[in-house]
Amino acid sequence: MKTIRWGIIGPGSIARKFAQDIRVVPGCSLESVAGRDARRAGAFANANGLPRHHASVRELAEDAGIDAVYIATPHTGHFESAKLMVAQGKAVLVEKPFTVNSREAVELIQAATDAGVFLMEALWTRFLPVYEDIQQWLADGAIGRVRMVSAAFCVRGNQDASLRWLNPALAGGALLDLGVYCLAMQRFAVGAAPLSSCATAVFAPSGVDELLSASVSYPGGVLGQFSCGFAAHGDTSMTIAGESGTIRVPVSFFAARTASLVVGGESRTIERPFLAGGFEYQIAEACRCLRAGLLESPRMPLAETLETMNAMDSMRRAIGLVYPGEVL
C-alpha cells in the first residue's frame, strides 16, 4: 500500500486535531505544514513531529513530496488555497464550510473535475461510526417514513470580536461555522436536496449572525429545522422523526458517539466510541478514495456540498448577510 503523504495549510487549532488523529490512519504520513509565517509554521511542525514546514501556501503547492492537503485556514482562505493545490495536482480535503459561497464552490469543483483531482469537504460528522448505524436504521425503515429533522448547534463562544467566527472579513458567523453541520446532517437523514428555506438571525456587533434559526423544506413532505449560534449555551442534539419512530442523537450531534432508536415506547441506545479524536474516519475515507482512483467521496459527494452552499447562500440573502467585497 503506497503511503499517502499529507500536508496541512493553516497551522491553527483544528489543524492540531488533524495532526493527532491522522496518526491512527494506516498508510498515511503527515509531512509538512504551511502558514503565512515561517516561525509559526515551524513551531507547529516541531510540536506535531512533522519533518518540514513552509512559509507560504505556494511553497507547499510546489512540494513534490505531498500527495494530499488538508485546508484548515479561516473560511475566506479555502477557495484560493484549494484552487492552487488542485492546479498542482494535489488531492484536497477542505474544512467546512467548503467555500464562502456557492459561486466559489462551483468554480472550485469545476477546477478539480477538469484537473482530475480528488476534492472533498471535511464534514467529519458524516463519517463518524454512529452515523453508519443511523444510516442502517433509516435504510431498514426502522422509524418509517422520515417527516421531520431538527438539529441544534448552540454554544456560547468567546465573544472577542477579533476572533475568526465573529469576524466578517474572515466570513465568520453562526451559519457558515455551525449551521453547516445542521444542514449537512439533515441532508444525510432526508436523502434529498432542500427545496426551499427561510431563516431569521440576530447579529453580533461585528455584523455577523450570532444566532440563526431556519426552516428547510425537502421533497416528499419532509421539514427540516435548525438553530445555531455562539451567543448562548443551548441545545446540541439532532432528532430524526419518522412516522413510526424516532432517532435521537442526544448531545453534540456533530461529534456524536451515541444515538437512540425509539420505536413503540421502547428505546435502544448505542455507543460508538472513536478510535482517536474523530477526524480519523474522514481521513481514512479520503485515503480510500485516493487509492480507488475516485475523484470524490460517495459518502460526501460534491453535489451535496454544493446543495449546502446553495442553501446557505439563500439563507444569507434572507437575513441580509453579505461579506465584505462579496457579490452574493
Ligand X SMILES: NC(=O)c1ccc[n+]([C@@H]2O[C@H](COP(=O)([O-])OP(=O)(O)OC[C@H]3O[C@@H](n4cnc5c(N)ncnc54)[C@H](OP(=O)(O)O)[C@@H]3O)[C@@H](O)[C@H]2O)c1
CB of 244 to ligand X, least distance (A): 33
Q: What angle do CA 17, 35, 302 make, to 5 degrees?
A: 65
Which one, 10 or 224, has the nearer CB to ligand X? Answer: 10
Alpha helices by DSSP H, listed for the chain, are 13-21, 38-48, 57-61, 78-87, 102-115, 129-139, 174, 180-190, 280-292, 302-319
104 binds ligand X (CB under 6 A): no
Cα–Cα distance for residue pair 230/221, rounded to 1 Å: 31
Which one, 100 or 148, has the nearer CB to ligand X? Answer: 100
- Nearest one of 328, 288, 258 to 68, comparing CA atoms: 288
CB of 260 to ligand X, least distance (A): 23
37 binds ligand X (CB under 6 A): yes
Cα–Cα distance for residue pair 100/82, rounded to 1 Å: 13
CA distances from 278 to 79, 129, 254, 262 (A): 25, 9, 10, 26
Site for ligand X in 167-226 (CB under 6 A): 170, 177
Instruction: Rule CB under 6 A: choose which of 13, 26, 266, 325 binds ligand X.
Output: 13
Question: Which residues touch 194 (CB under 8 Å, ≥6 apart)?
Answer: 183, 187, 216, 217, 218, 224, 307, 310, 311
CB of 229 to ligand X, least distance (A): 15
CB of 164 to ligand X, least distance (A): 5
Instruction: Rule CB under 6 A: choose which of 25, 48, 66, 77 binds ligand X.
Output: 77
229 binds ligand X (CB under 6 A): no
Which one, 148 or 183, has the nearer CB to ligand X? Answer: 183
- Are 70 and 5 in contact by the 8 Å Cβ rule? The answer is no
Which one, 19 or 134, has the nearer CB to ligand X? Answer: 19
Which one, 48 or 148, has the nearer CB to ligand X? Answer: 48
Instruction: Rule CB under 6 A: choose which of 4, 6, 7, 10 binds ligand X.
Output: 10
Catalog residues that contact ligand X under the rule CB under 6 A.
10-15, 35-37, 40, 72-75, 77, 95-96, 124, 164, 170, 177
